[in-house]
Structure 1
């Protein structure tokens, strides 16, 4: 038993000795490999500074393009500035002391070299982590403009029914394209403006994005693409309409549910040429159209549902006229007489 106890004690002493030896060895290397450790610090320091400069150049380009800088990029830059300033100062201060000789210049300042080596190694490891974290494909992202809030809609009774029908159709999963038609000046654009406004304000969002474009009598595909892209914060810099359409299509398909408002159609519009993924290409894409001609909506565009907007009723028209005329209406008898006729 005594032999076993002695053997166990010897093993414990042996393990303790090994531990102490490794500790002493680790500390001694800071002095022996002082220059090598400092050189590694300088190398990592230089690499990190180059990375910081490169990221800053990318940030400058992104900001010139009107982009916002990603949160992880801002956090990385903040950490780099803090670490570099802090570690540089500590290492440089110790470096001055380490170069000072002791014993009247007969031998190196061992304590200062030891401290410098430890700090330099710690700093190099921190720099290395930051270098590895610098893996940014892009530093910025498009600054999507806030939706324009239109306030020119008059909630006349004759318009409320159409408005409610449109909102219900937008909620209907079986309805993919909705058309609104009527003569010029009856308020088609004002109506879809109000639809857009309310879709942005409701608590339960029907769509991830609502984008719009005015088509006009002579459609210009490039301008329609630019209008939709602007609403999405996408920049289309290519000249080829085909390439632009492909990029726009890819961007729209990233939206799980998207409503595209196309105002003032005069004839059939080729959605594929524009870059709008519709039907089987994107189940979550709905389209709201306005036109003067129901035939354009029903036959040209194959709208699932169409709603007509007629003239205002007499009482509604009178109320609207008085509002537009303002205070001058009450004091101008000739204007009143003309309005009544």
Structure 2
């Protein structure tokens, strides 16, 4: 035998002897790592067992049969968890008792690590084997699901029956759970970059997205998850802000959408190189130009470097316009799920005498969670005859008529007329999430808060009315809990049905719409809104003698308004013109003697003296506008309660005052003065001189002065009589 052969054989023998020694040495030295791995798998198994247990309970409640593997899995999981916890407990105890914890026990660590590795592998295999199996099937009820719960798990660790849930998102439905799992599988599939969900309005797409986002975050499938609501008339700046907020990107100071888009795109491209990024866009009505938002994309609007999760009513928007790789259709709830949601909303089982009406009610709802929640309220604290009569009023074979009649019943049951007026006002704003601050301003002008004597009381009154509308399911809770949303079905209902006595128009981004509208329709209209439109030119005049509310939010910069545009609108009470140009006299507002609320945000105002004739004006907002000075005519607005000059970056002060050198606002409640870099001196008097400083008005002194120039600096003098809140922070 050669020397080389002998060495080779010896080496093989040595390896056979060393490998077990090496593994044993690892068991002793790495016992903490084996313990950590076991604890991790224990957590995974607990989650999987809880998920399957809850799904089985829900299926049994929906009269579905449970597959035989489910109780076997739960029993195996419980046994494995007990053994793993016992092993971890013994190891921890032994570690502390050996030399009072100062020295490791090699034998103890070896035995533990060897057993822990086997336990870890067994748990992994148990989870892998059962993670994607079907839990239930249609058929005879299997009996009590409690039999599926292993002994020792009763009590607080077991989710109780659903008797107190208050919304569709708080109840687990197997169809929705399956949809979320399908969405998650598609998102982690490298073949797909854009995943979508489509279905009719009210089917629960937005709610599904909230639950899916929560699950995605819990599973940590992506490093960054950002979500934005697109809506029918997209506000690009708001969408950018919502995405940037999740990324921690602060570009609030950037006014131009194109600059914000560039910054956002650069950030997303940088993150996409090393991290997984998901952007969720809810409620698309048409193609969204990703480049204009700042989402990296190719020439065909195909996303690059990150993944998108979208929802829309129209499959064509997802497939054709947004190049969706995998689009799921979301249908209404199954009969058993709809019944469970219905019973959850009424607080459990309905009254015995009302049980025969439940099936009739559910047939009307067509599986739409939105309608189920609305109709379920009819069964609370009512009699058989009242409930039967209400159902007769809303029954119709056409879904559209069903929706309108269903909502009509909820609408008519609201006893507070102010709440109905607020709902119409919310819809007239033309967006799904109206600003609470502007609702206060509009409402003050419309006398919606009759009992409110101050702006603060008006805000409290608004909150109370919103609560009333939420309780009737006509307004929805916003995800962040700071506001509310209006469902598209409610908007359609209010425009077509609830506003027949108070006609309103929501005009989309289309120049032809104004000329195509009938004169009779315009003459009877009480509210018109252009929500973020792109109009090249406004007509010379609109003949709307009954109009009380007019809102224009333009995408253009400084749209021209003719002097005669509002001549026929002498009953106008609320006017919001966002992004217009106002030249010198004659003023388009010269005949608006009844105007109470005027908002000219983001506008170019050559001379605000034209506003001095609006004697009854109570709310004036010039936020973000191009304005250099406030002339003495503003002092004629003696009824003014709120003046908003926030972010008027070119404002230099008041250079014209009356003979006394004072500028009086006797009823002023709120004065907003945030970010005015060119105001060099600002003087206020109430009943005695005041002094203060502001971080936003560097070097500013607040004290009484006679309105003359001081040391060559512009002055700003205001005398305030009565209660006032000043915001300069």
Structure 1 length-normalised TM: 0.52
Q: What aligned pairs does 1:29-40 form with structure 2 within 5 A after superposition?
A: none
Match of 1:161 in 2: 178
Mapped contact 2:198–2:330 kept (Cα < 8 A): yes
Mapped contact 2:194–2:326 kept (Cα < 8 A): yes
> Deviation string for 1:238-260 (max 9, x for gaps)?
11111010011112223221000
Mapped contact 1:176–1:279 kept (Cα < 8 A): no
The Cα of 1:229 is off from its aligned counterpart by 1.1
Q: Secondary structure at the match of 1:238?
A: coil
Q: Secondary structure at the match of 2:270?
A: coil
1 or 2, which has the higher helix percentage? 1
Match of 1:189 in 2: 206
CA distance in 2, matches of 1:196, 1:278: 23
Q: Secondary structure at the match of 1:254?
A: helix
Match of 1:89 in 2: none
Match of 1:267 in 2: 286
Mapped contact 1:222–1:241 kept (Cα < 8 A): yes
Match of 1:331 in 2: 351
Mapped contact 2:231–2:283 kept (Cα < 8 A): yes
The Cα of 1:189 is off from its aligned counterpart by 1.4
Match of 2:259 in 1: 243
Q: Secondary structure at the match of 1:159?
A: helix
**Mean Cα displacement is larger for which, 272-281 or 310-319?**
272-281
Mapped contact 2:195–2:327 kept (Cα < 8 A): yes
| Cα 1:288/1:282, change in 2 over 3 Å | closer
Which of 243, 248, 252 pairs up with 1:228?
Answer: 243
The Cα of 1:190 is off from its aligned counterpart by 1.8
Q: Secondary structure at the match of 2:233?
A: coil
| Cα 1:295/1:200, change in 2 over 3 Å | same
Mapped contact 1:153–1:194 kept (Cα < 8 A): no
The Cα of 1:282 is off from its aligned counterpart by 7.4
CA distance in 2, matches of 1:317, 1:259: 31
CA distance in 1, matches of 2:345, 2:168: 14
CA distance in 1, matches of 2:303, 2:199: 29
Larger RCO of the pair (alpha carbons < 8 Å, separation 6+): 1
Mapped contact 2:169–2:208 kept (Cα < 8 A): no
State yes or no: 1:320 paired with 2:341. Answer: yes
Mapped contact 2:193–2:303 kept (Cα < 8 A): no
CA distance in 2, matches of 1:156, 1:315: 9
Q: What aligned pairs does 1:17-166 form with structure 2 within 5 A after superposition?
A: 152=169, 154-166=171-183
CA distance in 1, matches of 2:229, 2:172: 23
CA distance in 1, matches of 2:170, 2:298: 31
Mapped contact 2:197–2:310 kept (Cα < 8 A): yes
Q: Secondary structure at the match of 1:242?
A: helix
Q: How many residues align?
A: 188
CA RMSD across the alignment: 2.2
| Cα 1:185/1:153, change in 2 over 3 Å | farther
Mapped contact 1:268–1:296 kept (Cα < 8 A): yes
The Cα of 1:289 is off from its aligned counterpart by 0.1
The Cα of 1:263 is off from its aligned counterpart by 0.3
The Cα of 1:169 is off from its aligned counterpart by 0.7
Runs (4 or more) in structure 1 with deviation over 4 Å come to 279-283
Which of 308, 313, 316 pairs up with 1:292?
Answer: 313
Match of 2:601 in 1: none
Unaligned runs of 5+ in 2: 1-166, 361-729
Which of 256, 268, 275 pairs up with 1:252?
Answer: 268
| Cα 1:254/1:332, change in 2 over 3 Å | farther
Which of 221, 233, 243 pairs up with 1:206?
Answer: 221
CA distance in 1, matches of 2:230, 2:337: 29
The Cα of 1:151 is off from its aligned counterpart by 9.0
> Deviation string for 1:225-275 (max 9, x for gaps)?
111111112222211111010011112223221000000001110000000
Q: Secondary structure at the match of 2:350?
A: helix
CA distance in 2, matches of 1:322, 1:187: 18
Q: Secondary structure at the match of 1:152?
A: helix
Mapped contact 1:253–1:282 kept (Cα < 8 A): no
> Deviation string for 1:98-135 (max 9, x for gaps)?
xxxxxxxxxxxxxxxxxxxxxxxxxxxxxxxxxxxxxx
| Cα 1:283/1:299, change in 2 over 3 Å | closer
State yes or no: 1:218 paired with 2:237. Answer: no
